[in-house]
Amino acid sequence: MECEKWAVGVIWRFGGIGHILPGQGGLAFLLRGPGVYSGRVRVRERLSGEWPPGHALAAIPLALILFITIADILTPTEISLSPLLITAPAITASFAGPRLTGFVGALTILDEIFLDTYSGLLGRRVVQTELLALIVVTAFLVLFSYLRHRHKEVLTRVRSVSEAAQRALLRPLPNRLGSIRLASSYLAADEEAQIGGDLYAATRGDSGTRLVIGDVRGKGLASVSDVAMLLGAFREAARRDPTLPEVALHLDDSVRAEVEEHAGELEGSEQLFENFITAAVMEIPDDRPVIKLIDCGHPPPLLIRDHHVMSLQVPNPAPPLGLGELTEPGYDAEIFDFKAGDTILLYTDGVIEARCPDGRFYPLHERLSSWQGDGPETLVNYVRDDLLAHVGGRLGDDAAMVAIQRLPD
């Protein structure tokens, strides 16, 4: 089939790996590879007559050239409309690459020569000056289009690499682990990066599920190394250490070891004294309707039960990870009821500190009270969409959320 051959050709050209999936109105396939956006791409049959947006927009400058040419021929000789032709390559450069811009520019120059010859004005110095100006401006427009196209390619590669890094670090949480259902969402403050300083992870143990959600000081790509370090430490400790306090102690030791290792690089910098991670470490046993929680300076989880929202505040929160030496040795886990049908929302401060254009913080507790859905997926989607609407579509800090629902025994 023509469409299928075209899809495979695109995958081979970009050096990616594709999976062709049947879809309505054509085929859908997944792309994986450098410089290619990783996601579902809809491929329609050529017979449908749909053009890519850039090709469709090319009709605008071409129609403009035709309109100016006809108008110039029909007007008196003393009225010259040919200088207006420069608008055609200028419009093209706003959406097309250097090749199409150069083609429209060359067509414009030839049309300018034709109109001036037709009017008998080509020998005049002022007309020759206009023609030279058209050539120079067209050359600059082609250069601008080339640079913009290169920048777009670099940005596409950065986004592709960032998405791959995000999937490697923040592995997608499974829909179910033991006795709980899970859903998560991550919103990076750096749109180009798609990854930042917030983190979450979940692992299975012999008798339950352990989770962590945290927030590295800072945001964006500068904090990715700390995120990678803590997630690696958590996955190792959650499977090895028998108790939740030992997991938290291992995480604190890992953060402090990381700071000590880079102390020479950070000497004299504020980061040496401010390198810490707020986190909430949890354990959900399979055989008991409870949740064990250690809060290390992190915003408290919110429990939703029968459409009522409760904050799981621990009496004595521990210091953020990396500052454990400021308190007595050891961590204490608080125990809260977590019954079948209950839902817990974990989140980072990027959610509750998000501001709308007039400066108001996002009222998470209030918005959860009005949520009437069911299931962790719908809760995460509801909060994410509502949060973006609150801030006008752009966050000032990374934001992560994990929703957990207890299943019936």
pLDDT attached to residue 241: 72
pLDDT attached to residue 28: 37
Percentages helix, strand, coil for the chain, rounded to the nearest 5? 45, 20, 30
Task: Kindly state the average pLDDT of the residues 321-350.
Answer: 88
CA distances from 98 to 56, 92, 126, 293, 305 (A): 16, 9, 29, 57, 58
**Alpha-carbon gap, residue 273 to 263, rounded angstroms:** 10
Sheet of 208-216, strands arranged across: 198-204, 208-216, 277-285, 290-296, 334-337
Q: Please check the confidence at residue 38 and state whether its pLDDT lies above 60.
A: no
Query: Are residues 290 and 209 in contact, defined by beta-carbon separation less than 8 angstroms?
Result: no
Encoding tokens for residue 48? 């449908």
More confident residue, 13 or 366: 366
Mean pLDDT of the chain: 80
**Which segments of 22-97 does DSSP mark as H helices, in order?**
53-57, 59-74, 87-93
Confidence of residue 130 (pLDDT cuts 50, 70, 90): confident
**Alpha-carbon gap, residue 403 to 197, rounded angstroms:** 19
pLDDT attached to residue 31: 36
Q: Please check the confidence at residue 310 and state whether its pLDDT lies above 90.
A: yes
pLDDT attached to residue 316: 87
Partners of residue 210 on adjacent β-strands: 203, 283
Confidence of residue 314 (pLDDT cuts 50, 70, 90): very high
The top-level CATH class assigned to 174-406 is alpha beta
Query: Are residues 31 and 15 in contact, defined by beta-carbon separation less than 8 angstroms?
Result: no
pLDDT attached to residue 216: 87
Range scoring the smallest mean pLDDT among 106-115, 189-198, 334-343, 344-353: 189-198
Q: Please check the confidence at residue 53 and state whether its pLDDT lies above 90.
A: no
Q: Please check the confidence at residue 64 and state whether its pLDDT lies above 50.
A: yes
Partners of residue 183 on adjacent β-strands: 403
More confident residue, 211 or 129: 211
Q: Please check the confidence at residue 280 and state whether its pLDDT lies above 70.
A: yes
pLDDT attached to residue 137: 93
Q: Please check the confidence at residue 55 and state whether its pLDDT lies above 90.
A: no
Range scoring the smallest mean pLDDT among 39-43, 73-77, 282-286, 303-307: 39-43
Nearest to 108 by CA among 162, 65, 75: 65
**Alpha-carbon gap, residue 99 to 89, rounded angstroms:** 11
Confidence of residue 72 (pLDDT cuts 50, 70, 90): confident
* H or E stretch at 170: none
Task: Kindly state the average pLDDT of the residues 330-339.
Answer: 92
CA distances from 378 to 165, 183, 362, 371, 405 (A): 26, 9, 19, 10, 11
Task: Kindly state the average pLDDT of the residues 324-343.
Answer: 86
What ranges do the domains of the chain cover?
2-50, 56-161, 174-406
| DSSP for 310-357, written as a single string | EE---SSPBPPBT-GGGS-SS---EEEE--TT-EEEEE-HHHHT-B-T
Confidence of residue 162 (pLDDT cuts 50, 70, 90): low
366: number of CA atoms within 13 Å, CB side?
Answer: 6
Task: Kindly state the average pLDDT of the residues 7-23.
Answer: 35
| Integer-rounded Cα radius of gyration of the chain | 30
Sign of CA dihedral 229, 232, 236, 242: positive
Query: E-assigned strands of 198-351?
Result: 198-204, 208-216, 277-285, 290-296, 302-305, 308-311, 334-337, 343-347
Q: Amino acid identity of 197?
A: G
**Alpha-carbon gap, residue 119 to 392, rounded angstroms:** 54
Q: Please check the confidence at residue 49 and state whether its pLDDT lies above 70.
A: no
pLDDT attached to residue 65: 92
Q: Please check the confidence at residue 108 and state whether its pLDDT lies above 90.
A: yes
Percent with pLDDT over 90 in the chain: 42
Q: What is the pTM of this model?
A: 0.65
Q: Please check the confidence at residue 341 and state whether its pLDDT lies above 60.
A: yes
Partners of residue 355 on adjacent β-strands: 361
Nearest to 60 by CA among 40, 87, 24: 87
CB atoms within 10 A of CB 122: 15
Angle (nearest 5°) at CA 323 between 317 and 327: 55
Range scoring the smallest mean pLDDT among 135-144, 186-195, 364-373: 186-195
Query: Are residues 266 and 272 in contact, defined by beta-carbon separation less than 8 angstroms?
Result: yes
pLDDT tens for each residue of 184-242: 998 877 665 556 688 999 999 878 899 999 998 755 555 677 888 899 999 988 888 78
